Amino acid sequence: MNFTMSLIAAGAAVLLGTGAMADNWRAWNIHNDGHPNTAAMDRFAELVAEKTGGEITVDVFHGGVLGSQPDAIEQVRIGAIDVGNFNLGPIGPMVKEANLVSLPFIFKSVPHMFRVLEGEGGEIMGAAMAEAGILPLAWVDAGARSFYAQKAINTPADVEGLKIRVKTTDLYTSMISAMGGNPSPMAFSEVQQALKTGVVDGAENNFPSFKSVGHYEVTTHYSLSEHLIIPECICVNTTKFNALSGDMQDAVRAAAEEAALYQRELWAVGSEQARKDVEAAGIVVTEIADKSPFQDAMGAVYEEYLAANPDMRKLVEIAQSTE
Ligand code: GTR
């Protein structure tokens, strides 16, 4: 090989080397267009490319096309999917500490939930999640979940005898049973059809999801029980993240934090708009002035859960003592 050829070969190697270093991540998102988290995840992808100078690019797969949420969480843990926007509810069966957020009425409000996440409670949950392979880069808002059905659900007694769809987390099953209802664990993608055909009588979610997947088209009443305030995360495979250089870690984290702040802004506006839209479409929204009957009914859920999981008491106390 002469000198010129060696130079060309060296140049090609450098180019190939650079090419090999650029990393393309696959991201999971359950929501479709028009949902605040879809726009936020697109923003996350843009910010990662920008802040890493193109060394990491992210392809976001919306609408849950990479699999159901419990499956996708597992995929991120093993590194088959790199990153995703996950609800902490379905993380609970894999990371016990995440179950804190699935105890009904554990948070007084969304700001209270964020204060807990930004304090010792969030540190404990985040560390346990990272240990399990799914590291939270930033927390995002998912508002509060309330019941909807073909009638108003203003007291726990209104749930009696109803078949209510829940996510596949034991605490939600207990929650519905404690009110005398029949819990029906089911994937998000199946709920609209189940409501439509009467396989279930009702479900529970926040306004943006109630609207975006058409649950409002097949129910008549949305009752503001606000029994669960479940945060979400932008979460990455732990090994993948730890293998990055310090600078790349900072860039990815900053991208997630910025995308999460953007999500919270979109959420505030989008959630109000979703409520207006479903009301305009004929949904009767009822305010529940006194939620104590619901809270009282949950006493049994806490008792049973903490008796079986005494090591969760500390997290519960941290949440309850956070102002
Ligand atoms: C939504 C949440 C999704 C999913 C869904 C459900 O509010 O953003 O991640 O958990 O609820 O009920 O399955």
**How far, in Å, CA of 212 to CA of 34, rounded?**
7
Segment 283-286 long-range contacts (CB within 8 Å, at least 24 positions apart):
283/148, 283/216, 283/219, 283/220, 283/221, 283/222, 284/152, 284/220, 284/221, 284/222, 285/221, 285/222, 285/223, 285/224, 286/152, 286/154, 286/221, 286/222, 286/223, 286/224
Question: Among candidates 236, 276, 274, 277, which has minimal Cα distance to 255?
Answer: 236
37 Cα nearest atom in ligand 1: 8
User: How many whole angstroms separate alpha carbon 196 and alpha carbon 134?
Assistant: 35
Six-digit token string for 135: 């590291």
Secondary structure in 3-state letters for 179-195: CCCEEEECCHHHHHHHH
Q: Domain spans of the chain?
A: 21-142+230-273, 145-228+283-321
CATH superfamily of 21-142+230-273: Bacterial extracellular solute-binding protein, family 7 (3.40.190.170)
Which residue minimizes the CA distance to atom 9 of ligand 1? 87
In terms of Cα–Cα distance, which of 188, 179, 223, 218 is closest to 201?
218
pLDDT value, residue 3? 43
- Lining ligand 1 with CB less than 6 A are 30, 69, 87, 89, 142, 167, 188, 205-206, 209
What spacing in Å lies between the alpha carbon of 69 and ligand 1's midpoint?
A: 8
Can you tell me which atom of ligand 1 is nearest the CA of 208? 7
Between CA 266 and CA 143 the distance in angstroms is 12
List, in order, residues 6 or more apart from 248 with CB less than 8 Å away: 52, 55, 56
Tell me which residue has its CA closest to atom 10 in ligand 1. 87
Ligand 1 centroid vs 188 CA: distance in angstroms? 7
- For residue 16, the model assigns a pLDDT of 43
Question: What is the structure's pLDDT at 21?
Answer: 66
Q: Is the distance from CB of 220 to CB of 284 less than 8 angstroms?
A: yes
Domains 21-142+230-273 and 145-228+283-321 agree in fold = yes
Q: What's 116's DSSP letter?
A: H
145-228+283-321 belongs to CATH 3.40.190.170: yes
Q: Where are the alpha helices (DSSP H) in the chain?
A: 3-21, 36-51, 69-78, 110-117, 120-131, 170-178, 191-197, 207-212, 238-242, 246-280, 292-297, 299-308, 313-321
- Cβ contact 260:138 at 8 Å: yes
Q: Which stretches in the chain have pLDDT values below 50?
A: 1-20
Q: How far apart are alpha carbons 115 and 152 in whole angstroms? A: 32
CA of 87, closest atom in ligand 1: 9
Nearest atom, ligand 1, residue 167 CA: 13
pLDDT at position 119: 98
What residue's CA is closest to ligand 1, atom 13?
188
**The token pair that represents 292 in the structure block:** 């104590």
How far is residue 246's CA from residue 260's CA, in Å, rounded to a whole number? 21
Residue to mutate, 188, 193, 206, 222, ligand 1, most ligand atoms under 8 Å from C-beta? 188
Those residues whose C-beta lies under 8 Å from the C-beta of residue 180, and which sit 6 or more positions away, are 156, 157, 159, 160, 161
Q: Which atom of ligand 1 is least distant from the CA of 205?
A: 7
CA of 15 relative to ligand 1 center, distance in Å = 43
Stated length of the chain? 323
Q: Which of 66, 69, 102 to mutate to test the pocket of ligand 1 (most atoms within 8 A of CB)?
A: 69
Say what the pLDDT of residue 102 is.
98
